[in-house]
Amino acid sequence: MSMLSNPAQKYSAFPQVDLPDRQWPSRRITTPPRWLSTDLRDGNQAIVDPMDSAKKTRFFDLLVEVGLKEIEVGFPSAGETEFDFISGLVRSGRVPDDVLVQVLTQSREDLIRTSFASLEGARAAIVHLYNAVSPAWREIVFGMTPKQVIGVAVAGAKVMRDEAAKRPETDWHFQYSPETFSTAELDISLAVCEAVMDVLQPTPVHPIILNLPATVEAATPNIYADQIEYFIRNLPNRESAVISLHTHNDRGTGVAAAELGLMAGADRVEGCLFGNGERTGNCCLVTMALNLYTQGVNPALDFSDIDRVIETVEYCNELPVHQRHPYGGELVYTAFSGSHQDAIKKGFAARETQNDTGWRVPYLPIDPADLGRNYEAVIRVNSQSGKGGFAWVLEQDQGLKLPKAMQADFSPHVQRLADELGRELTAEDIWQAFRKAYHVKTYPKHFQLLDYEERRSTDGTRLFSGTIAVAGQQQSVSGRGNGTISSVIATLRDSFDLALEIVDYSEHALSTGSDARAAAYVLAALPDGRRVWGCGIDEDVATAGVRAVLSAANGAVTVA
Ligand X SMILES: CC(C)C(=O)C(=O)O
Binding site for Mg(2+): residue ranges? 42, 246, 248, 282
485 backbone dihedrals φ, ψ, rounded to 5°: -60, -45
> Residue 130 interacts with ligand X (CB under 6 A)?
yes
Kindly tell me which of 78 and 117 has the beta carbon lying closer to ligand ACO: 78
- Nearest CA to 37 out of 58, 64, 57, 55 is that of 64
**Within 72-111, which residues bind ligand X (CB under 6 A)?**
104
Kindly tell me which of 56 and 439 has the beta carbon lying closer to ligand X: 56
Q: Are strands 462-470 and 447-456 parallel, antiparallel or unpaired?
A: antiparallel
Kindly tell me which of 36 and 152 has the beta carbon lying closer to ligand ACO: 152
SS3 473: strand
CA-angle at 295, arms to 355 and 297, nearest 5° = 100
SS3 33: coil
* Shortest Cβ 211–ligand X spacing (Å): 5
Residue 558 CA to residue 445 CA, distance in Å, equals: 9
Q: List the one residue from 138, 246, 435, 446 that touches ligand X (CB under 6 A).
A: 246
Kindly tell me which of 61 and 139 has the beta carbon lying closer to ligand X: 139
> Residue 177 interacts with ligand X (CB under 6 A)?
yes
Mask: binding to ligand ACO, 243-282, rule CB under 6 A, as x and -? -----------------------------------x----
Q: List the one residue from 152, 272, 313, 510 that touches ligand ACO (CB under 6 A).
A: 152
Q: 269 and 213 in contact (C-beta within 8 Å)?
A: no
> Residue 45 interacts with ligand ACO (CB under 6 A)?
yes
> Residue 108 interacts with ligand ACO (CB under 6 A)?
yes
* Shortest Cβ 23–ligand X spacing (Å): 26
Residue 247 C-alpha from the chain's centroid: 21
Q: Choose the one of ligand ACO, ligand X, none that binds residue 77, judging by a C-beta under 5 to 8 angstroms depending on kind.
A: ligand ACO
Kindly tell me which of 72 and 163 has the beta carbon lying closer to ligand X: 72
* Shortest Cβ 162–ligand X spacing (Å): 22
Q: Which residues of 4-43 are buried (b: 16+ CB within 10 A; e: fewer)?
A: eeeeeeeeeeeeebebeebebeeeeeeebbbbbbbbbbbb
> Residue 72 interacts with ligand ACO (CB under 6 A)?
no
> Residue 50 interacts with ligand X (CB under 6 A)?
no
Residue 403 CA to residue 535 CA, distance in Å, equals: 10
> How many CA atoms does the CB half-sphere of 307 hold within 13 Å?
9
SS3 162: helix
Which residues on neighbouring strands pair with residue 454, listed in sequence order? 464
> Residue 496 interacts with ligand ACO (CB under 6 A)?
no
Residue 387 CA to residue 412 CA, distance in Å, equals: 10
> Residue 131 interacts with ligand ACO (CB under 6 A)?
yes
> Residue 261 interacts with ligand X (CB under 6 A)?
no
Q: Which residues of 277-304 are buried (b: 16+ CB within 10 A; e: fewer)?
A: bbeebbbbbbbbbbbbbeeeeebbbebe
Mask: binding to ligand ACO, 200-239, rule CB under 6 A, as x and -? ---------------x------------------------
Residues that bind ligand X (CB under 6 A): 42, 104, 130, 177, 179, 211, 213, 215, 246, 248
Residues that bind ligand ACO (CB under 6 A): 42, 45, 75, 77-78, 106-108, 111, 130-131, 141-142, 152, 179, 215, 278
